[in-house]
Every structure is written in C-alpha cells, then in structure tokens.
Amino acid sequence: MVEVLQTDVLVIGGGAAGTNAALKAADYGAKVTLVVKGLLGKSGCSIFAAFTPYFQKTNEDLRSKRWRFMIRYYNHYLADQEYCGRLEDYMCEEFYPDLERIGVYWRRKAEGGLEMIEARTRSLVAHKQGATGPIMMDKRRREVLRRGIPVHEECAVTSLITDGERVVGATVLDYRHGKYFVIRAGSTIIATGHSDYLATRATGTREQSADGISMAVRAGAELANLEIQWWHVSDVLEPKSWMRYHIYPNPLMGTLETSRLYNSQGEMFYEQKTHSPGAAAPYTEQLRRLAREVIAGRARFDGGYHSGYDHIPAETTNTYQHQAKIWRKLGLDVGKDRLECGITWHMRHGGINVNAARMETSLPGLYAAGGVGCHYFGGVGPASFDGKVAGVAAAEAALSGTKKALPEQALAAEEKRVFGFLQAGAEGPRPIEAKLRVRQIMSELGYIKNEHNMQAALAALQEVREAMIPRLRLQSTSLNWNTGWMDALDAGCMVDACEAMVRSGLNRKESRGPFYREDYPYIDNEYWLCRNIVNRVNGEWQSRQQAIPTPYLTPEKSREPFFEADY
C-alpha cells in the first residue's frame, strides 16, 4: 500500500520561489509540504544570483530606465506588464525587509549606508565577489527549518495527480531510499525553476532536467513561449565542467570593468559599455554579435573565440571575480590569459502559462511560481514575489475548498512506470546515454533555427522516446541512491520538455530576443507580440496565441530586421 501524506499546499522546488511560497502559505495558516529534488536552498538557479536589483520609486529617471530593462531588453516585450508594476511594488516594499528581518546583510559602507553598484541601474550585494545567492538562500533555508515546515529533500516528483478536473497532488520518488509515496494536496505549486540542463553545453546542473515543464505537459497544462531560450556566450569551453564559470558581460562587482570577447583573429567583438550602452540586453546582444562572427567565419559557436580580463589590472579581477581563485589554482593568469569559450544553454524565458495575478495555471489546483512560469524571465526577486503570490493564492484555495479523492488507478499506473525502469542488464543503453543524446540533439539545433532543423530535432527526439527510453538498462537494481534510475526518469522529462519547446519554436514565425529563425529573420510585433501557447491533450498537441497587453511600453516598430534591433 502506497503511503499517502496529506497537506494543504504542496510546493515543488526549494529555490527562491519555492521557499517563499512555502513561508507565505504557512503564514496564511496552511499546512505546507516542500519537495525538493536537490537540497533545500542549494540546488537550482537561485544560488547563482550575483546581486539583487535595488528598486526605488522615488528616482523617476532610474525608474523609467528599469521599466525599459524589464520589458524591452530582458523580456523582449513578452513580460506581463501589469505584473511588472506589482513586482516593482514588491521589490520596493517587501523583498528586502523580508530577508533583512531574518538576517541577510546587504553590504554597507564603513560609515553606514548601502554599498551600491551604480553601473547598470542600481544593485546591491551581500558578497563582494557576487555570491549574493548563496547567502540569501542560506537564510531562507534556515527560516524554513526553523519554522519546522516539512521538507522532503532529494525527492523527485514523478507526476502530478489529476482527478479529471483538478490537480490533487503528486507522486514522489525519494531517490535516496528508493521510496515511492504520494502527497495529496489541496493546492500544488510548481516552483522548479529554469531547466538549464537541456543541451550538451549547459550552465544547469544535472537535477535541472525540466521535471516541472514535463509534469505540466503530461498533465495537459498550457505552456507559453518555451522557444525563447537563452544561450550564454562567454562560458569557458573546456574542460566541460568549466562552463559553469560564466564570464559575465556585466561589470565586476563594485567596479565599472567588464570582460571582452575576441574572435579568432584576436579582434574584440563585444564589450558591454561599447556594444550594449547602459547595459541594455547584454546577453542577447552578445549572442547576436557572436552569430555575425560565426557567419563571417571568425568564430564557431563551439569555440574559436575567447573572453578575458587582460585589459583590466589583475588585482581588480582577483578582488572582485569569484572564479579568479580557481583560475590561479589551475595555472591561469587572469592578468594575461584569455579563455576559449563556447555557447552554453542558460535560461529560458517561457514556461508554464500562468495568470500572473494569482499564479494560476490552466489546470485548476495547480500554480506555478518563478523561472518555470512564462510571465517574466526570472531572478531571485521576481521568483520570490511569485512565490508569495502563489503561496497565498494556493493556501486560500486549499483552505476554502474540499479535498478530492485520489484516482487510485492512476497512482498504481505511475508506480508501475517509475519502478519499470528498475531493470538491470548489459543489453540496452544506459540511462545517462539517453540524457546525453537529448542534450546533443538540442545542441545541434543550436542558436540558428529554421523549419528544417526544428523538424529534424523533433524526429530525433521522437527516436529517443521510442527507441531508447523503453530499452534503458541500469547497472544495479538497488533502491539506494540509484543514479541510473534517476537518469532514466530525467531522460523522460527531458524528451517531453524538449519536444514541447521545439513544437513551440515551429509555431513562432518570427525572431525575437534570443530566438533566431533564419527563415523569419525579423521581429514581428504585429502578429507575434503574444504568448505562443502549446499543450498536449490525450496525446494530441494543440496551440493558440494569447495577446500580451502593453499598457506601459509599446515597441516603436511593428516589424524590424532581427539583427538591427537592440532588444
């Protein structure tokens, strides 16, 4: 008999969105249960936050600049603008007080007053080398522990449970002990963050296998703008794990100095202050400039160009760059050496389609918060705000509704699917091979897309689904931290999510932000300033568009050549 835990609000994910959702739902009086695939406050994206944006309404100039950032440069007009307004209120009034109250310390000057990075708009840091995320998430994690909110760490949600009308909970595999259980919940919040593991070169770590997107796809929820994917340009080429040492285009903490990118001829082709004045959209602009170098034969997407700080005094780099120390350990001289780079899958703008006023998805009982949503591109501030909104809305619904019965048959079928992978043998591919293959398919699809290569990717994904996944064999059938078993489950998630992503890309017949189609090389604000939505119902893919209102900021041009646009 499967163990069934009861809760009012189930929160899936332990980053900025998930922890805040849990705390705010608990404040509201709900019984909360957190399930985290990695470790609370340690896995996922949130700990990568370098600094936090400082919003002040009083400074009109900075305020209008920030609005342009939020809507035009970072979200390519795909953000929910009403949400941006509420986000601004939250950042001004709640984000910092909530965290300072429990002990996060944003750096002050010796004589008092905040230490501020003035380089872009304004940002604050809790750590001078830009490791604000770990400090912030450590305090959140401690607060969740102090409050005694039940946390199931190293547990993967394998599916959402629906009773035909609403989401009524989730099935969970505790992979540390191989224990399968069910959580029955009044409301469920997906806060699984960005799916940053979906290409051979990816900044994401191995737990970020798009479980949230995948469970939403399988439950029939709508997804929007999944094709809007980011690629980092300046991540170290090799060894492989180095890709997580991103050389950000932004100024080093506390300075105005930035890295530079050089093509294979040694010519500098990107520097923030030169090519993205005012730090407007540096990431997408880097990508576009690299694409031009690649097309001209002066770089490749997978190498042949370099990034470095050799134009800056080494002392500055050593003081303010987190990774300077590991460079030294590995025999590099930050004052002289440039590093070969390659493009690296980073974060995705789109996600589960939500009504951002309450973070409700298209499925009753299911909420989405943070990077897994589609209304904003992410960040620890916005994710925290989403967590609060979703936490309160989910708690309110759970406490006022009646709990539905669980569909026993579906639970048994899911248990059979999960344990079906637990077969050892020498025949058949290892699960990690399926994951690596999916990542390879998405890498080959890469940045420059067209109808043909997206169709090819779709066919290749289908082959993984049909020819690889049913044949997967593990090395051991141990229930105890069986990484092969985890890989098998991850591989299924990755195929589901990537298929949705590519289908969404095929539907969008324009280019925008980091999404470039050479067969539609222009931004088309007349037809495509919208949520591009897909979902799968009874095995059939459906699609629709949903208009994005632009009450505050509208693009000047209805149509613009992609390489001439600045957003």
Partner 1 sequence: MSPFLKPTTEPEKVRVRIHRYDPATDSAPRYESYEVPYKPRMRIMDVLDYVYENLAVDFGYRWLCGSKKCGTCAMNVNGTPKLVCWEPADPDMTIEPLNNLPLVRDLVTSRDTYEAFLARLTPTLQREKEYKEFPEPLSAVDMAPTAHLRECIQCLCCHSVCPVLQQPDTGFAGPALLVALAELAQDPRDDMDRASLASKEAQVFKCVSCYECERVCPVEIPIVHDAIEPLKRLAYVEGTEPGANRARTFLELVKSRGRVSGAVLALKTKGIGLDELRLAMRMVRSGKIDLKDTFFSQPSPGAESIRKTYEASEK
Name the nearest CA neighbour of 193 among 418, 355, 436, 20: 20
Name the residue among 98, 34, 39 with its Cα closest to residue 380: 98
Looking at beta carbons only, is 143 or 396 nearer to partner 1?
143
Contact 282, 307 (CB under 8 A): no
Closest CB 439 distance from partner 1, rounded Å: 11
Rounded least distance, CB 131 to partner 1, Å = 6
CB 102, min distance to partner 1, A = 4
In the bound state with partner 1, the residue whose beta carbon lies nearer, of 336 and 452, is: 336
CB of 366 to partner 1, least distance (A): 26
List CB contacts of 387: < 8 A, sequence separation 6 or more.
16, 17, 18, 19, 20, 21, 22, 23, 24, 189, 191, 369, 370
Q: Smaller CB distance to partner 1: residue 310 or 566?
A: 310
* Residue 38 vs 505, nearer CB to partner 1: 38
Give the nearest distance from C-beta 505 to partner 1 in angstroms.
28
d(CA 88, CA 84): 6
| Min CB(202)–partner 1 separation in Å | 11
- Shortest distance, CB of residue 159 to partner 1, whole angstroms? 23
Question: Nearest approach, Cβ of 474 to partner 1 (angstroms)?
Answer: 7
Is 401 exposed, middle or buried (CB count within 10 Å of its CB: 0-12, 13-18, 19+)? Answer: middle
CB atoms within 10 A of CB 559: 13
Contact partners, residue 84, CB within 8 Å, separation at least 6: 67, 70, 71, 376, 552
- Closest to partner 1 by CB, 292 or 336: 336
The smaller minimum CB distance to partner 1, of residues 43 and 276, is found at 43
Q: How far is the CB of 407 from partner 1 (least distance, A)?
A: 32
182: exposed, middle or buried (Cβ count in 10 Å: 0-12, 13-18, 19+): buried
Separation of alpha carbons 347 and 203, rounded Å: 8
Question: Is the Cβ of residue 149 or residue 343 nearer to partner 1 in the bound state?
Answer: 149
Instruction: Name the minimum Å distance from CB 13 to partner 1.
Output: 13
E-strand stretches of 222-271: 223-224, 229-236, 260-262, 268-271
Residue 481 or 527: which CB sits closer to partner 1? 481
Question: 296-334 burial by CB neighbour count: b if 16+ within 10 A, else e?
Answer: eebbebbebbbbbbbebeeebbbebbbbbeebeeeebeb
> Cα(364)–Cα(386) distance, rounded to whole angstroms?
18
Closest CB to partner 1 among residues 174, 415: 174
Q: Which long-range contacts (CB under 8 A, 24 or more apart) does 54-58 make?
A: 54/114, 54/116, 54/121, 54/122, 54/123, 54/124, 55/88, 55/91, 55/92, 56/92, 56/122, 57/88, 57/92
CB 353 within 8 A of CB 224: yes
Of 228 and 488, CB closest to partner 1: 488
Residue 323 CB, nearest approach to partner 1 (Å): 7
Rounded Cα–Cα distance for residues 386 and 431 (Å): 34
Least distance to partner 1, CB of residue 277, Å: 25
Nearer to partner 1, 130 or 169 (CB): 130
Strand partners, 142: none
The rounded distance, in Å, linking the Cα atoms of 21 and 442 is: 32
3-state secondary structure of 234: strand
> Cα–Cα distance between 73 and 352 in angstroms, integer?
21
Choice between 43 and 159, CB closer to partner 1: 43
